Amino acid sequence: MYERPEGIENCRIWIDGCFDFAHHGHAGAMLQARQLGKELYVGVHSDEEILKNKGPTVMTLEERLAAVTACKWSTKTISDAPYVTDPKVMDKYDCKYVVHGDDITTDANGEDCYQLVKDLGKFVVVKRTPNISTTDLVGRMLLMTKTHHYKDLNKNYKDLLTEDNLTRFKNYSTDETGLHEGSGVYLNLPDEPKLKTIISPNFDITKEKLVYIDGGFDLFHPGHIEILKIVNEKAQNLGAKVVVGIHDDLTINKYKGLNYPIMNIFERSLCVLQCRYVNGGIILNAPYKPTPDFLSKLGNVIKVYHGPTEIDENVYDSITDSNIFEEISKHKFDNMNTEFIVNRVLNNKAAYEERQKKKGWKSEIEKVLKSKESRDIPSS
């Protein structure tokens, strides 16, 4: 159903949504949309429109715009896009087709948000990313579950490198067109003298100057994005590429407790990979304390950065005596961290629980519409 229109590769594509939390499902939709055309314009709904049609957002419009703009596959971000996709708005930005996942999205009245553009032949379907949504993430916070965590990667990293996950790593490491090789994906194993290359980049990392920053990057948010943007600017001035180390689930849970991280290492890694400010690649299972021995595995690391967030004592002790370590000062989203976002949800627990119920009610309507659509439209 909904075959790819002839000549779509020469067209500007439209995609829209709430984009509440910058999770990899959103990025996956933008990637597929960008792969279809020459440019991608991303419409972001207002807080008021989302509240009316879906329920309260966790992230503000400014925060959601920052997240969408940071996705390397988005060409331009459009604020206050209508919740029901309007062909006139698409025409205003010269977008010939709208792309959406293979599910149904309804408005407050239970009507298909894309029916108008479907009727006009402007609608193109891509595969929806399974097992992740803002609703899922809010549910993890409310229910305090840990079943999404990966176990000790030092003992069994193959659970992380399944065929499906490897395909996703390859797709998310592509360049801004989504069609060609881009950044690299590496795995750190403490007992191994070299990093394990999972996805090769489009450059020789041994010949590049590198800057390094590490962290959990849980619920990938504007605080993370802003620090990576600053690091990227510094790297450009130094003629270097940005490499990001990502800690495993066990390490984060050890230091933060409860059910942290809310996103597992696979989900967090894809969020970092899709960011336009990360052009060198990512290191899975990066050590909590970056040592000279670890940094030598990467190559020519000329700077190690850390943001304005608090860190445990002694984490950077082994490199603070050199000129390599640099702390980054305050920035406009420096008040934001994962706990800050989780507290937003917990402080408004009743409202988000109601949102979860509303999602359940709407999903039944959406299933009916999906079934009807499948009967009405002949398969290609």
pLDDT of residue 245: 98
- DSSP secondary-structure letter at 106? B
pLDDT of residue 353: 67
Rounded distance between C-alpha atoms, residue 27 and residue 48, angstroms = 23
Rounded distance between C-alpha atoms, residue 359 and residue 6, angstroms = 36
Using DSSP's 3-state secondary structure scheme, residue 94 falls into coil
Rounded distance between C-alpha atoms, residue 10 and residue 6, angstroms = 9
pLDDT of residue 142: 80
Rounded distance between C-alpha atoms, residue 67 and residue 225, angstroms = 7
Q: Are 189 and 157 in contact (CB under 8 A)?
A: yes
pLDDT of residue 207: 95
**Backbone phi and psi for residue 305, each to the nearest 5 degrees, phi listed first:** -110, 150
| Contact partners, residue 343, CB within 8 Å, separation at least 6 | none
**Residue where the block lists tokens 């002790």:** 317
| Residue among 79, 99, 78, 98 at smallest CA distance from 87 | 98
- DSSP secondary-structure letter at 342? H
Rounded distance between C-alpha atoms, residue 250 and residue 77, angstroms = 36
pLDDT of residue 265: 97
Rounded distance between C-alpha atoms, residue 51 and residue 20, angstroms = 12
Q: Are 304 and 267 in contact (CB under 8 A)?
A: no
Q: What letter represents residue 137's amino acid?
A: L
Q: Count CB-CB contacts under 10 A for residue 97.
A: 22
pLDDT of residue 370: 46
Rounded to two decimals, what is the model's pTM?
0.88
pLDDT of residue 357: 62
pLDDT of residue 70: 97
Q: What is the pLDDT along the chain (380 residues), one digit of tens a residue?
A: 456 899 999 999 999 999 987 677 889 999 999 999 999 999 999 999 999 988 888 899 999 999 999 999 999 999 999 999 999 999 999 999 999 987 778 888 888 899 999 999 999 998 876 666 767 777 888 888 899 999 999 999 999 999 999 999 999 999 999 999 999 999 999 999 999 999 999 999 999 999 999 999 999 999 999 999 999 999 999 999 999 999 999 999 999 999 999 999 999 999 999 999 999 999 999 999 999 999 999 999 999 999 877 777 688 888 877 789 999 988 888 888 888 888 888 887 776 666 556 555 444 434 444 455 554 544 43
| Residue among 229, 227, 279 at smallest CA distance from 70 | 229
Rounded distance between C-alpha atoms, residue 272 and residue 218, angstroms = 10
For residue 373, how far is the Cα from the chain centroid?
A: 30
Q: Which domains does the chain have, with CATH numbers?
A: 8-130+350-376 (3.40.50.620), 145-338 (3.40.50.620)
